[in-house]
Amino acid sequence: MPHIFIDTNRSLGTIDPNIYGQFSEHLGRCIYQGIYVGENAEIPNSNGMRCDVVNALKALHIPVLRWPGGCFADTYHWRDGIGPQAQRKTIVNTNWGGVSEDNSFGTHEFMELTRQLGCEAYFSGNVGSGTVQEFSDWVEYCNMGGVSPMASLRRENGREAPFNVKYWGIGNEAWGCGGNMRAEYYADLCRQYSTYLRSYSPDHKIYKIASGANVDDYHWTRTVLERAGHVIDAVSLHYYTLPHQDWQHKGSATEFTESEYYTTLHKTLRMEELVENHSRIIRQFAGGRKIGLAVDEWGTWYDVEPGTNPGFLYQQNTMRDALVAAINLNIFNNHCDTVCMANIAQMVNVLQAMILTEGSKMVLTPTYHVFALYAAHQGAQQLESYAETSILRHDEEAVPTLHVSASRAADGKILVTVANLDAAHPAEAQVLLGGVKAAAVDGTVLCGTADARNTFTAPDAVQPKALSAVLTADGFTAALPACSVAAFTVTPQ
Dihedrals φ, ψ of 342, to 5°? Answer: -150, 145
The answer, yes or no, to whether residue 395 has pLDDT greater than 80, is: no
* pLDDT band of 26, cuts 50, 70, 90: very high
Q: Please choose, from the candidates 222, 219, 342, the residue with its C-alpha nearest in 3D space to the C-alpha of residue 271.
A: 342
Percent of the chain at pLDDT > 70 equals 100
* pLDDT band of 108, cuts 50, 70, 90: very high
The answer, yes or no, to whether residue 1 has pLDDT greater than 80, is: no
Average pLDDT, the chain: 97
Residues 38 and 44: their CA atoms lie apart, in Å, by 10
Residue spans of beta strands (DSSP E) within 57-132: 64-67, 91-93, 99-101, 120-125
For residue range 223-242, what is the model confidence (pLDDT) as tens digits? Answer: 999 999 999 999 999 999 99
For residue range 310-365, what is the model confidence (pLDDT) as tens digits? Answer: 999 999 999 999 999 999 999 999 999 999 999 999 999 999 999 999 999 999 99
Q: What is the Cα 152 distance to its own chain's centre?
A: 34
For residue range 48-87, what is the model confidence (pLDDT) as tens digits? Answer: 999 999 999 999 999 999 999 999 999 999 999 999 999 9
Taking residues 297-309, report their average pLDDT: 97
| Helix/strand/coil percentages in the chain, nearest 5 | 30, 30, 40
Instruction: Please provide the DSSP assignment of 235-267 as one string.
Output: EEEEEEE-SSS-TTS---SS---HHHHHHHHHH
Question: In the 8-state DSSP scheme, what is residue 427?
Answer: E
The answer, yes or no, to whether residue 287 has pLDDT greater than 90, is: no
**CB of 10 within 8 A of CB of 384?**
yes
Residues 198 and 303: their CA atoms lie apart, in Å, by 41
The answer, yes or no, to whether residue 394 has pLDDT greater than 80, is: no
Q: Catalytic residues, which ones?
A: 173, 297
Question: In the 8-state DSSP scheme, what is residue 89?
Answer: P
Pairing of strands 465-467, 469-472: unpaired
The answer, yes or no, to whether residue 406 has pLDDT greater than 90, is: yes
Is the pTM above the cut of 0.85? yes
